[in-house]
Amino acid sequence: MREPGFNTKAIHGRGGPEAEGAVSTPIFETTTFHYDTVEAGAALGLDRGEGYFYTRWGNPTTAALEERVALLEGGEMAIATGSGMGAISTVILGSLKTGDHLVAPRASYQAAHELFAQILPRYGIASTLLDTVVTEAYEAALRPETRVVYIESPNNPLLDVTDIAAVARLARAHGALSVADNTFASPYNQNPLLLGVDLVVHSATKYLGGHADVTAGLIVGSRNRVLALRPTFRIHGPVLDPFAAWLVLRGLKTLGLRMERQNANALALARALAAHPKVERVHYPGLPEHPGHRIAHRQMRGFGGMISIEVRGGLAAGARVVEALRTAVMAVSLGSVETLVTHPASTTSVTIPAADRARAGIREGLIRISVGIEEVEDLIDDFTQALEAA
């Protein structure tokens, strides 16, 4: 029998019945669980027993989400967290100690950048932030004490593409853990674990949830690697509440349909914007002229719903364009059914020093677009009028 396809797995998981025969996974909105003996309670408290103990340790609704995302990513086990940064911080702080070293791209999610550049040094952990994501840059940055090699592909906000398999091989040969943020691609378009990465993180707030109504994160990998992170998770406590887990599970059921439409809309919009005289450059891995197009074509099934454009006129022009949009919504975050736009130089990247933004290629006129599922003709018309108004 053939393996079920992506949409079937996203809807049905491994195919077992839900509690009490429910079609929709029940919401176990409880903080604590009954156990029959003190021995059973002790085993659960040590994270060795079967069943549930306390929702910070685990919950049936959250466990259903973890199992579903692990299945879609090709992993054995997952941990659901209260945000994407909860997932990233759990992995990084659970994998590094004083004296260790991390390698990561400079152009990455702004809170991850802050973790690497500002928080880790307080723990005596060094970071090398790369100005380019080519494999040779990762190799040159490795030190004897490098313990984590971090990948974000496509990255935020420039849509640079990393050769995931090559960097994963490099990390493995060096004895370092490879971690990939797969938020921009989603498991529909890309599976870093199948390319050799050790752990995958997601901001499930974005494509996995898909409706801008829940904040969540996921860590996915082999059972042993995920179990090794559970003490850090339990102590730091970035727990996902059961209702939020249920919202992400609901969103997962339409992930494939949404991504199919967002992939198509983004490619059409990228092509239209590339032809506009007020657009200096379009960053989208689905365009043949994108430097990472060949790698993206090899490791992705679709090019995703994220685009960044550079408008002529710098900071002021970028601000005027996003303010003139009528259909697209000026808001942070991404991955929702609505088209969302941000102007990183004035909003999402303001916590990154200007010099670091410039080194990372985040220019003043850059606009990041999270393409939704609207009619693409309406989106093209909206961006055309906004560019002309600016």
How large is the average pLDDT for residues 300-318?
A: 96
Q: Are 144 and 284 within one domain?
A: no
Answer yes or no: 109 catalytic: yes
Answer yes or no: 363 catalytic: no
Q: Are 41 and 183 within one domain?
A: yes
pLDDT band with cut points at 50, 70 and 90 for residue 49: confident
How large is the average pLDDT for residues 236-251?
A: 97
Domain that holds residue 302: 256-389
Instruction: Judge whether 45 lies within some domain.
Output: yes
Q: Which residues contact 78 (CB under 8 A, 6 or more apart)?
A: 65, 66, 67, 69, 70, 218, 219, 220, 221, 226
Instruction: Judge whether 21 lies within some domain.
Output: yes
Q: Are 55 and 154 within one domain?
A: yes
pLDDT at 17: 60
pLDDT band with cut points at 50, 70 and 90 for residue 18: low
Bridge partners of 181? 152, 201
pLDDT at 244: 98
Instruction: Judge whether 127 lies within some domain.
Output: yes
pLDDT at 349: 60
Cis peptide bond prior to 26, omega within 30° of 0: no
SS (H, E, C) the chain: CCCCCHHHHHHHCCCCCCHHHCCCCCCCCCCECCCCCHHHHHHHHCCCCCCCCECCCCCHHHHHHHHHHHHHHCCCEEEEECCHHHHHHHHHHHHCCCCCEEEEECCCCHHHHHHHHHHHHHHCCEEEEECCCCHHHHHHHCCCCEEEEEEECCCCCCCCCCCHHHHHHHHHHHCCEEEEECCCCHHHHCCHHHHCCCEEEEECCCCCCCCCCCCCEEEEECHHHHHHHHHHHHHHCCECCHHHHHHHHHHHCCHHHHHHHHHHHHHHHHHHHHCCCCEEEEECCCCCCCCCHHHHHHHCCCCCCEEEEEECCHHHHHHHHHHHCCCCEECCCCCCCCCEEECCCCCCCCCCCHHHHHHHCCCCCEEEEECCCCCHHHHHHHHHHHHHHC
pLDDT at 1: 74
Which one has a higher pLDDT value, 45 or 207?
Answer: 207
Alpha carbons 155 and 356: distance in angstroms, whole number: 15
pLDDT at 50: 84
Instruction: Judge whether 261 lies within some domain.
Output: yes
Q: What length is written for the chain?
A: 390
pLDDT at 286: 98
pLDDT at 163: 98
> Could you say which of 202, 222, 252 is where a domain stops?
252
Which tokens is 204 given? 């499930």
The pLDDT of residue 48 is above 90 = no
Calculate what percentage of the chain has a pLDDT beyond 90.
85
Number of domains in the chain: 2
- pLDDT (tens digit, 9 = 90+) per residue, 202-233? 999 999 999 999 999 999 999 999 999 999 99
How large is the average pLDDT for residues 9-33?
A: 86
Instruction: Judge whether 248 lies within some domain.
Output: yes
pLDDT band with cut points at 50, 70 and 90 for residue 13: very high
Phi first, then psi: give them for residue 148, nearest 5 degrees.
-135, 130
List the single range of 46-60, 104-118, 325-339 with lowest mean pLDDT. Answer: 46-60
Q: Are 120 and 176 within one domain?
A: yes
Average pLDDT, whole number, for the chain? 94
How large is the average pLDDT for residues 187-212?
A: 98
Q: Are 179 and 308 within one domain?
A: no
Q: What is the dihedral of CA 150, 152, 158, 159, to 10 degrees?
A: 140
The pLDDT of residue 148 is above 90 = yes
- pLDDT (tens digit, 9 = 90+) per residue, 341-360? 999 887 756 666 777 777 76
How large is the average pLDDT for residues 280-285?
A: 98
Q: Are 262 and 220 within one domain?
A: no
Q: Are 319 and 360 within one domain?
A: yes
Domain at 276, CATH number: 3.90.1150.10
pLDDT at 2: 83
Q: Are 206 and 308 within one domain?
A: no
pLDDT band with cut points at 50, 70 and 90 for residue 252: very high
Residue of 9, 68, 109, 207 marked catalytic: 109
Instruction: Judge whether 178 lies within some domain.
Output: yes
Q: Are 234 and 335 within one domain?
A: no
Residue 285 corresponds to which amino acid? P
pLDDT at 341: 97
Residue of 160, 163, 181, 198 marked catalytic: 181
How large is the average pLDDT for residues 43-49?
A: 85
How large is the average pLDDT for residues 284-290?
A: 98
Domain at 248, CATH number: 3.40.640.10
Q: Which residues contact 234 (CB under 8 A, 6 or more apart)?
A: 47, 56, 57
- pLDDT (tens digit, 9 = 90+) per residue, 155-185? 999 999 999 999 999 999 999 999 999 999 9
Instruction: Judge whether 1 lies within some domain.
Output: no
pLDDT at 19: 65
Residue of 35, 56, 234, 281 marked catalytic: 56
Answer yes or no: 106 catalytic: no
The pLDDT of residue 250 is above 90 = yes
> Could you say which of 214, 230, 252 is where a domain stops?
252
The pLDDT of residue 82 is above 90 = yes
Instruction: Judge whether 305 lies within some domain.
Output: yes
pLDDT at 47: 83
Q: Are 176 and 282 within one domain?
A: no
Residue of 9, 106, 147, 206 marked catalytic: 206
Answer yes or no: 206 catalytic: yes
> Could you say which of 252, 284, 302 is where a domain stops?
252
Q: Are 236 and 275 within one domain?
A: no
Q: Are 286 and 314 within one domain?
A: yes
Asked whether the beta carbons of 256 and 207 are under 8 A apart, the reply is: no
